[in-house]
Structure 1
Amino acid sequence: MLLAIFVNTTVNAQDPQLDTAKVIQTPNLQQEHFYDSLENRASRRKLTGWLYDAIITPPRPYVDKKALALDYFKEYEGKIIADIKINALDVFGPTCTDTTKTASHWAERAANKIHTKSNLKTIRKLLLFKIGDVLKPELMYENERIIRDLPYIKDVRIYVEQDPIYPGLVNVLVLTKDRFSFGVSGGVNGTSSGDLEIYNRNIFGVGHEVSVKFVGHVEKEPYLGVETFYNIKNIGGRFLDVRLGYLNTYRREGFVTEVTKPFLTQNIKWGYGGYSARMLRTDRITNNDPVKVEEPMDLSVNYLWGGRSFNISPRHENITELVLSAGMNNWNYFDEPVVEPENSHFFSNHTLYMASLTISQRRYIQDQLIYSYGITEDIPEGFKNEFIYGYDANEFGDRHYLHFLTSNGNLLLSRSGYLFTSAGISGYLKDGHFEEGMIQGDVNFISKLHKAGKKRVRTFADLNYTLGIRRFEIEHLTLGDRDHIRSFDSDIAVGKQRLNLKLEHVVFLPAQFYKFNMAIFGFADFGVIGSNRELIFKQDYYSGIGIGIRLHNENLVFETFRLRLAFYPFHPDDMSFVGFSLDEQSKKRFISFAPTGPEPMRFE
């Protein structure tokens, strides 16, 4: 009872209603009159009323949720933390803003009993503060973001209460709400192959992950194989993660080990990591490599990096980091792949030694209904400039590697959305010649969330350009990889140069389908692809338009289920005019401005 009273009183302090919120922008009266008049005329007919709700998006005030959260914590800034309590809530029923709610359906109550809540010691290891520390508002806000980013956590709230006896002390309550940690996924590829994966994102409540995927093929051996991974998270409270894997399917056989300690916050001074894969049999160099060979390869890939972060703006509110790092990437082929002679250098035994200098600045804005469904999302804002020099010790001749990448992301000054941009150039220098080079540029726009009746609406736009310079013949850009044109699958539409525009209009529906949130989306994708020896606008044009629906339950670790129908007006000969797909969609991630280890840019 005391917990409920504590939470309810602090929630009111942290989450005021809209009329008491800080409103950054107020639409003018002329705009309001126009949209009200248009809505009134559209509502006279059912069809036009629905189209108005789905398409027309009148301006709404922007609420700075981060400012509200920081204002709440600043009330207690400088006070000493006397006590920390942690409470892990049930998956179904209670929320971080109302702990008195209970699961209403028998299936939800059964799931709560089956699920193992996050271990309180595991959550405590994630805290950036301890008893006796001085309360810092930015640190509390940042800690919420780090915990919320975990795959098995749906939401987290940190509440602060003034000590009733000593005015200089405060007590802290950390509320976490898990996702149901068990998940199943799978799919079929025609009538010849398929896979089924079973996983747990929070085994025994300690934050570890385990997954087992069964992969089968009716013609290729092994007819039934397995891929299994085990992830150990936040070892010793140092934010050090370890991932171990074994694979033996018709696609590949081998072992994978990965260690990661990222620059998770701007206060972390040292970051490092490594990756090692020993593949006894594989058709690709890495799991998601776009280059595929017919005959299996026997190879090893090893990567190691470490870096040191320096704060170069100690007197400014937004910290600017300078990170110096070094890394080594080694490829070793035990049996040379059977390829055309002009492509043999692509599969060379070589070691790339790299050194990088990164200048970055990052902060986060809170919003909802972007890539998730009704939960808090942390949108990065800032910039990152990265320069890498590398020396490639190559069996076909040593060479130098150069790489410059810049990215920027901001909430637009007009508060009309989020804009992310990036541009980069990379390549190798050998005997005075530039080879295996590329130029890449991206512009991503996300509109602000609009209210359309009871629905919520966003528009997404992505523009991408990639140019390959003196690439190997085996390397190709496509329009199908990474959904440059959604559900596009062609072996004809390939090249060394690509221009791509993706547009999507998403309507988040208020109704649920068996507890799954729903979003209807319409899309239009355009792509130009071809040779790198002529202007991009002289190459081949393709497009795809369509509609679809996404289903997702934020209480579960399941991926998003997606049903999509597409039409391809300018389709190549090896594709049909109509495409239909039912699959799973992994949650899209925002462009991050956190410093990372040095790695060459990927031509894909």
Structure 2
Amino acid sequence: MILVIITLTNVLGSEVPAQSYIKDTALIEKLPEEKYNQFYDSLKHKANQNKFTRIFYDFLISPPRPYVDKKEMALEYYSRMEGKTISEIDITALDVFGPNLEDTTKKAKSWVERTANALHTKSNLNTIGKMLMFKVGDIIDAEELYENERIIRALPYIKDARFFLEQDSINPDLVTVHVITKDRFSLGVSGNVNGTSSAALELYNQNIFGVGHEISLRFVGHLHKQPYMGLETFYSINNVKGKFVDVSAGYMNTYLKEGFSFELEKPFLIPSMKWGYGASALRMHRTNQIFDNDPLIIEEPLDYSFYSAWAGRSFQINENNYNSSQVVISGGFYNRTYHHRPNPSFPENQFFSNNTFYLTGLTFTQRRYIQDQLIYSYGIVEDIPEGFKNEIVYGFDANEFGNRHYLHLYLSNGNLLIKRRGYLFMSAGIGGYFNKSKFEQGQVQASTNFISRQFNAGRKRFRLFIRSNYILGLKRFDIENLDLSRNEDIRGFSSKEAVGKQKLSVDLEYVLFLRREFYKFNMAFYGFADVGVIGSNKKLIFTQNYYSGLGLGLRLHNENLVFKTLQVRLAFYPFHPSDMSFVGFIFEEQLKKNFYSFEPTAPAPLDFR
């Protein structure tokens, strides 16, 4: 079966001792993974002594290297000290350029790097300390250390994090935990030009003052629509007072929309967390979309308010097993009130209805994380989720045009394949609304995502990505249509003609990771072939309209920066619709893709898009 797959805090609170700067992590015992790498580096050095052995090394020994289970190595390293008491916690935040986790004494070489380090505010040690799930006096728990390392590494302003353990020379039952983090340069800039009439420029800082707060200012301009120069601004606080609660607020006033937003969220970061909850508010005085990325564009601006809240309680099936399955019971509500909307007309009046949607969910999930590199990032550690998430959600829609019930079933699973030959994710879901007389706004969906292991091409490494997505609308409203314009379907495709109530897309991508850098930017060439089929829900999908996209491109990214990935792409669209051309060329920014995490979330209806 197949399935689819994101005020100020008190900085001085929850203090964690921050001791002396670690001069050189080489003095601390290395992880087994590092010893493994040292062996191959030594072998490579010897092979480079003559041409024949260098070629032999490149093609037979150079990547892909034998699979290394980095999680087992890390757990083995931490397990050596398991049961001992933490006597001291030493936190070090490294500069962006120069030092690394293997040698903290390295210095930035160029004046550009030294200037960037001077401009950058290093992460506040108390802020990092609040992210720790252990304290002085606790007993070493290998699984907890591994998960805590992952949580810190997931922060947008952290490039990498590592915990080193040092046994006390006098009392062998005491251990010092050295927490070393490496920042990213937190200042970023982004922008885009839309035709000849509009453009946008964004400035942001993902670690303002070093306390982990995020701020962004996006200036949006249009030559013919008011306001001619508008602003979108957002401010976020991560891990408020060390409670793992995230808060964000925003204000928007551009030619596209005007309003404000607020969101509070405490996610189920780890299986042992018993409670998760959240709340949000959105007040839009003027917008042509109900939500961002909604495929439906409204000609007459909407004026509406949206409020929601939820909470969930987790129960571990085996509390003694850190990676055990968990059952989560959750409930919440969504309220939407329109102050100005298109005139509701039967039978589609419920699409723009004032309503309160009550939802409850039962989720059965398990998750664990393994480590690898060169998947969606460029040479840094990536935490890959394995596990499953199966949920059933029931809802009651208290609607001004008639109350309805809602029900859906969603199943998902993702794991490494046997003998580590790749990663496979599958998901499937079915759901819809119903009352005593009819069923409506239903859907069936299925998805797969396959990522191959690393292969070698001389001294280069590559992976193969295959993704498929299918969705069938059942008794959807006429105003609701699917399209192929998302990058998850046919990248770069944009057409108002290719729409329907049913679609199937299959994407094939070959990514070649280059070892050479371009002005400190990692490079990856890629080629792709995308196929999409779309049309009516009354016929088999294979009898519908076919479209495709073929092309190649180059991605540039520097993991030391918070900048998005830069992408240059040339694409060809055989059998293209009349409202788009055969050739497409684009230079754009791209957000990094994320894995489906199997994390329990707020109960919500399935997306039809």
How many residues matched? 575
Amino acid at match of 2:97: F
- 2: distance between equivalents of 1:248 and 1:337? 22
- 1: distance between equivalents of 2:422 and 2:362? 31
Q: How far does residue 431 in structure 1 lie from its aligned partner after superposition?
A: 2.4
- 1: distance between equivalents of 2:344 and 2:555? 41
Q: How far does residue 260 in structure 1 lie from its aligned partner after superposition?
A: 0.4
The runs of 5 or more residues in structure 1 that have no matched partner are: 22-39, 44-49
- 2: distance between equivalents of 1:599 and 1:167? 51
Are 1:346 and 2:346 matched, yes or no?
no
Secondary structure of residue in 2 paired with 1:138: helix
Q: How far does residue 482 in structure 1 lie from its aligned partner after superposition?
A: 3.5
Superposed counterparts of 1:423-462, under 5 Å: 423-462=428-467
Amino acid at match of 2:597: S
Are 1:15 and 2:34 matched, yes or no?
yes
Q: How far does residue 16 in structure 1 lie from its aligned partner after superposition?
A: 1.9
Secondary structure of residue in 2 paired with 1:443: strand
Q: Deviations over 1:225-275 (max 9, x none)?
A: 000000011001010011000000011100100000000111110100011
Tell me what 1:537 maps to. 542
Report % sequence identity: 58
Amino acid at match of 1:114: L
Tell me what 2:9 maps to. none
Q: Which stretch shifts more, 332-341 or 271-280?
A: 332-341
CA contact (8 A) 1:518 1:549 kept: yes
Tell me what 2:22 maps to. 3
The runs of 5 or more residues in structure 2 that have no matched partner are: 1-19, 41-51
Superposed counterparts of 1:468-507, under 5 Å: 468-507=473-512
Q: How far does residue 593 in structure 1 lie from its aligned partner after superposition?
A: 0.4
Superposed counterparts of 1:286-435, under 5 Å: 286-316=291-321, 318-338=323-343, 342-435=347-440
The 1:532–1:422 alpha-carbon spacing in structure 2 relative to 1, beyond 3 Å, is: same
- 2: distance between equivalents of 1:149 and 1:6? 22
Q: How far does residue 393 in structure 1 lie from its aligned partner after superposition?
A: 0.3
Tell me what 2:115 maps to. 110
Secondary structure of residue in 1 paired with 2:418: coil
The 1:170–1:433 alpha-carbon spacing in structure 2 relative to 1, beyond 3 Å, is: same
- 2: distance between equivalents of 1:227 and 1:317? 42
- 1: distance between equivalents of 2:96 and 2:510? 31
Tell me what 1:46 maps to. none
- 1: distance between equivalents of 2:320 and 2:91? 34
Q: How far does residue 398 in structure 1 lie from its aligned partner after superposition?
A: 0.3
Secondary structure of residue in 1 paired with 2:532: strand
Q: Aligned to 1:249, which of 243, 248, 254?
A: 254
Q: How far does residue 400 in structure 1 lie from its aligned partner after superposition?
A: 0.3
RMSD of aligned residue pairs (Cα, Å): 2.0
- 2: distance between equivalents of 1:236 and 1:199? 23
Q: Deviations over 1:334-367 (max 9, x none)?
A: 1222576554321011111001000100000000
Q: How far does residue 4 in structure 1 lie from its aligned partner after superposition?
A: 3.5
- 1: distance between equivalents of 2:222 and 2:402? 41
CA contact (8 A) 2:300 2:341 kept: no
Amino acid at match of 1:199: Y
Q: Deviations over 1:423-476 (max 9, x none)?
A: 001100122421101111000000112232221111100011000111111111
Q: How far does residue 15 in structure 1 lie from its aligned partner after superposition?
A: 2.1
- 2: distance between equivalents of 1:242 and 1:421? 32
CA contact (8 A) 1:116 1:205 kept: yes
Tell me what 1:144 maps to. 149
Are 1:72 and 2:77 matched, yes or no?
yes
- 2: distance between equivalents of 1:463 and 1:480? 15
- 2: distance between equivalents of 1:342 and 1:296? 21
- 2: distance between equivalents of 1:537 and 1:430? 32
Q: Aligned to 1:521, which of 520, 526, 543?
A: 526
CA contact (8 A) 2:249 2:262 kept: yes
Secondary structure of residue in 2 paired with 1:481: coil
Secondary structure of residue in 2 paired with 1:391: strand
CA contact (8 A) 2:221 2:230 kept: yes
CA contact (8 A) 2:447 2:469 kept: yes
The 1:90–1:58 alpha-carbon spacing in structure 2 relative to 1, beyond 3 Å, is: closer
Q: How far does residue 9 in structure 1 lie from its aligned partner after superposition?
A: 3.2
TM-score, with length taken from structure 2: 0.92
- 1: distance between equivalents of 2:80 and 2:63? 35
Higher relative contact order (CA 8 A, sep 6+): 2
